Structure 1
Amino acid sequence: MKTTVYLSLPLFFLFFSCSSDTSPNEPEPSIDEIYFPPLNSDTWETKSLADLGWNTSELQPLLDFLEEKNTKSFMILHDGKIVVEAYMNGHNSNLPWYWASAGKTLTSTVSGIAQEEGLIDINNKVSDYLGTGWTNATLEKENLITCKNLLSMNSGLDDTLGDDVSSANLQYKADAGTRWAYHNVYVKMQDVVAAASSQTWSNYFNSKLRDKIGMTGQWINLDNLSVYWSTTRSMARFGLMIYAKGIWESNRIISESYLNEATSTSQNINEAYGYLWWLNGKSTYHLPALQFEFNGELIPDAPEDMYAALGKNDQKIYITPSKKLVVIRMGDVADGVNFALSTFDNDLWIKINNLIN
């Protein structure tokens, strides 16, 4: 099928040398050097592959791999500027696509904003905001569940009962904090923010995050889940704001301290999980629907400091501060149905490394 690629200047891409080893001498992002595309505009500055000294012969193999793996769009930003922007398999820059669980990071971010505004405290019980009876657990067990437990995926509620998050389906499995399980109960944080702000979740999200960084898109309810849909560039705008440590141009969107907390290990069971963010570079990790620990890094061929928003069927935001990179992938599933991490993640990073090394 036809692939549409937008090249920056002579060629396209971005990146720096990238491998699973992160040199301590590599610079961290500097706000003064980060480019932000203007609000309400299609203008977005670019960098060329040649300017970055990348391996130009590896560009087409990467694009061929992406197209073969059912990708619809792919972007690489370097310090905010586009180095690669490619659309394929019938997609284009104006079409929205679903974030799936990559959108969990939107909920994490807006929860942090609500906390900074004094509307919530993530250390408080969920029932402080939703009232009692929001689960099917006993009052004693329900009151153990904090907002932080929802953000960390260790609520202790039974993850085997499907996506329904009605109170009848939120049943006790273990005490909060004692069991990590990938569970859609995190969406209750949207209800917490809505209740605390006396607004709908969408209105609060739009005013505090979406509109401030020039995103488009909307939350759509599908099968009792609130799923975000947007263009690829809107996903890239969010990734860029996170890469810039919560800044958009001269405006502070969310505190750097909260983001640092959100992108660090949030509990003592799954080292590779923060507040709805996946973390590379840890010695062990857990996966959705499984209750055992894997040794090694989440994505061995990705940089150790990389953290990611990972969604069903391979929706991806990779953020790598040491390499000054934000990488976006949207599309259909690459190989087989998955909830977050897949073998495609590491295969893709091998191709990216071939390009940038």
Structure 2
Amino acid sequence: MSLALMRRLSLAGLCVLAASQALAESWPAADWSSQPVTPSSALDALEAYAFPARDDSSRLGVRTDALLVIKDGVLVYERYAGPNNAQTPHLAWSISKSLFASVLGVAYGEGRFKLDDPVAQHYPPFAKHPAVKMGHLLNWASGLDWQEGYEYAPLRSSVVAMLYTRGRGDSAAFAATHELDAVPGTRFRYSSGDSNVLSAALKQMLGELSYRDYPWTALFEPLGITSATWERDASGTLVASSYAYLSARDLARVGLLMQRDGRWGERQLLPASWVAFNRTPFANYQPDPQKPNGAVPGGQWWLNVALPQSAQPWPDAPETTFAALGHWGQGLYVLPEQKLVIVRYADDRDRSYQHNELLKRALAAFAGEQP
């Protein structure tokens, strides 16, 4: 038998193995397969934390709008509060950044860009910052002098200006007007501007016509997502930083895609190397002294890793846990070892909600791990 034939047979065997693995796993079709978890004291404790008595007049305390848990591809828990239900597209806030990273992952797999490409190659208004690369934006490490803050500093906030005042006509162009105050790639600074420049760069790569529907044709339709809406600024650029809306069930599909390393059924929708990049800590990350146990930035996702200079952010969850997080308590948590995906939509206003507490109780209820 020739070496070439042996290689072809080996490759065929791997394809058959991957196909059989995909068939053995549970994948959602038009809806999720459902097998509700057995009631328990651990589940009661989770619900007591996530759904306390709710005072809509004060907006204080933990205010969960939706909590959904997928285990090994099966819907095992779902509860809603207020006017929300299984069909409600909820504002994802900055979960949108991680969602857009998955859209970009499809484009990356199509060979449309490389992480080392200068941003200006794909978005000419960035020409005055020739050293900024696509990977820098994905790590929130562009070096732009950017102020990300809402309630605490609205008059000095770059993001408030971008979304609501002088930058709302063209969010990426507004971000591009900012000067650098650090060498690109050397400093983490969370920036919605970085995320919206990525969106404008994708538009340049694809052309206006293809870009218009690309999140749907590239990601949402292959995953069976039907509830998604994504707002655009006046220039037609998707506001990748902030304004995607999806139902909790549809957002969980993105979580399952990431839990299974970018694979959806028999199709490798996102390159495994892209998912690995999303889950790799930014090399030059330095914790904020005021938030020493904050989640660690990856490639537009947040990681639960311990670093030499900081403790594990969510100590009661596995270190392999990663998440997409958003303003006012939005969370998409992926726990690969436990094969869990947890979606939490919320309207938290006083920062009393704690990621670690929810994850600890969810693990006790759905993975049998006692707190």
TM-score grouping bracket, smaller chain normalisation: 0.7 to 0.9
Deviation of 1:82 (Å): 0.7
For the pair shown, the structure with the greater C-alpha radius of gyration is 2
| Number of aligned residue pairs | 301
* Structure 2 match to 1:3: none
- How do residues 65-214 of structure 1 correspond to structure 2 at under 5 angstroms? 65-68=49-52, 69-131=62-124, 133-134=125-126, 139=128, 142-160=129-147, 161-163=157-159, 164=162, 165=171, 166-167=174-175, 169-184=177-192, 185-199=194-208, 201-214=211-224
Matched, 1:275 2:299: yes
In structure 1, how many angstroms separate the alpha carbons of the residues matched to 2:283 and 2:346?
A: 31
Deviations 1:187-220 (A, max 9, x none): 1111111111114544111110011101121111
Please state whether the residue corresponding to 1:143 is helix, strand or coil.
Answer: coil
Matched, 1:315 2:335: no
Residue pair 1:247, 1:253 contacting (<8 A) in 2 also: yes
* Structure 1 match to 2:41: 57
User: Structure 1 residue aligned with 2:230, among 210, 219, 227?
Assistant: 219
For normalisation by structure 1, the TM-score amounts to 0.78
* Structure 1 residues 213 and 126: alpha-carbon distance in aligned structure 2, compared to 1, 3 A threshold: same
Please state whether the residue corresponding to 2:77 is helix, strand or coil.
Answer: strand
Deviations 1:134-160 (A, max 9, x none): 37xxx3xx0110010000011000122
For normalisation by structure 2, the TM-score amounts to 0.75
* Structure 1 residues 168 and 197: alpha-carbon distance in aligned structure 2, compared to 1, 3 A threshold: closer
Deviations 1:228-278 (A, max 9, x none): 001111101111111121121222211112111221113322582211011
Residue pair 1:190, 1:201 contacting (<8 A) in 2 also: no
User: Structure 2 residue aligned with 1:326, among 341, 345, 355?
Assistant: 341
Deviations 1:298-343 (A, max 9, x none): 211111110111111111111111111111101111643xxxxx85
* Structure 1 residues 36 and 86: alpha-carbon distance in aligned structure 2, compared to 1, 3 A threshold: same
After TM superposition, what 4+ stretches of structure 1 lie above 6 angstroms from structure 2?
A: none
Structure 1, unpaired ranges of 5+:
1-29, 285-293, 337-341
In structure 2, how many angstroms separate the alpha carbons of the residues matched to 1:81 and 1:222?
A: 37
Residue pair 2:334, 2:340 contacting (<8 A) in 1 also: yes
Instruction: Return the letter of the residue paired with 1:323.
Output: Q
Residue pair 2:22, 2:266 contacting (<8 A) in 1 also: no
Residue pair 2:304, 2:312 contacting (<8 A) in 1 also: yes
* Structure 1 residues 204 and 105: alpha-carbon distance in aligned structure 2, compared to 1, 3 A threshold: same
In structure 1, how many angstroms separate the alpha carbons of the residues matched to 2:363 and 2:107?
A: 38
* Structure 2 match to 1:13: none
* Structure 1 residues 245 and 210: alpha-carbon distance in aligned structure 2, compared to 1, 3 A threshold: same
* Structure 2 match to 1:14: none
Instruction: Return the letter of the residue paired with 2:199.
Output: Q
User: Structure 2 residue aligned with 1:302, among 309, 312, 317?
Assistant: 317
Instruction: Return the letter of the residue paired with 1:262.
Output: N
Larger fraction in helix: 2
Residue pair 1:97, 1:231 contacting (<8 A) in 2 also: yes
Q: Which moved more, 1:265-274 or 1:180-189?
A: 265-274
In structure 2, how many angstroms separate the alpha carbons of the residues matched to 1:228 and 1:218?
A: 6
* Structure 2 match to 1:35: 26
Deviation of 1:281 (Å): 2.4
Identity %: 25
* Structure 2 match to 1:26: none
Deviations 1:23-56 (A, max 9, x none): xxxxxxx645431111xx2x32123424xxxx71
Superposed CA RMSD: 2.3
In structure 1, how many angstroms separate the alpha carbons of the residues matched to 2:77 and 2:349?
A: 20
In structure 1, how many angstroms separate the alpha carbons of the residues matched to 2:181 and 2:356?
A: 33
- How do residues 335-350 of structure 1 correspond to structure 2 at under 5 angstroms? 335-336=350-351, 344-350=354-360
Residue pair 2:86, 2:249 contacting (<8 A) in 1 also: yes
Please state whether the residue corresponding to 2:158 is helix, strand or coil.
Answer: coil
Residue pair 1:77, 1:325 contacting (<8 A) in 2 also: yes
User: Structure 1 residue aligned with 2:257, among 233, 236, 241?
Assistant: 241
